[in-house]
Structure 1
């Protein structure tokens, strides 16, 4: 567990997962991404599904896992609307990277839609290489694929 400014980053629990879904719009605005939130990730990969908790609730979360080939895959990362721009996303990624290394990860991977310019800029700021891969998510559905080696040493710009 990492404690920062009255907030601690710790493995997600099932109750946290349900709270994130209840407060979905605080993290994702008008985009409905609830179908991407998989409870099995929290149940099966609990040590790499992390939440940033504070007295006022869950400020952010990162859900991912480590593949058998040693890749720490980030499935979702989100920060609540009132804490964006505070560096919380970087802290969540750092905590995930540390947990992933503990499970044998040597590199990180994430994906996003080609239209998600905010995510693309964020991942580039963390040192990820980006590549558009045609048909990644099915015929005619290109995605941006992010890769980077570990360790993840990032500081706030």
Structure 2
């Protein structure tokens, strides 16, 4: 009888640790983060704000940006088998980033995988930091402004 008790005393902490680790691994979902009332630095026109957002997206891995209308961009981030889409609404002073859709990020209407929040927060920080102001961004060159793509040389207009 003592052998069982001793064995249980030795094994129990290991089982608790394993169970806790499994439980923590399942807690990778979080409430959906939305950036609201983000503030741009300095002054700028609506076109300059759009260019800044495109530079910020280009500075982060996996983002592509499409113009929806003045003051609204749709940005998609893709990695491995995951995809997320957000709308970035902006004016000359502020911007917001809101959830649109996702693939393979366990969205349940209120909560989502933590990678969504991590990527949205990184994009938000890049926009607030000025988006790498010295990095030119392509104008989309006949692709309907689908991508925010850094270019290595001077930007040449096709007009």
The answer to which structure, 1 or 2, has the higher relative contact order (CA under 8 A, 6+ apart) is 2
Q: TM (normalized to structure 2)?
A: 0.31
Say which one has the larger Rg: 2
TM-score (norm 1): 0.32
- Structure with a larger share of its residues in strand: 1
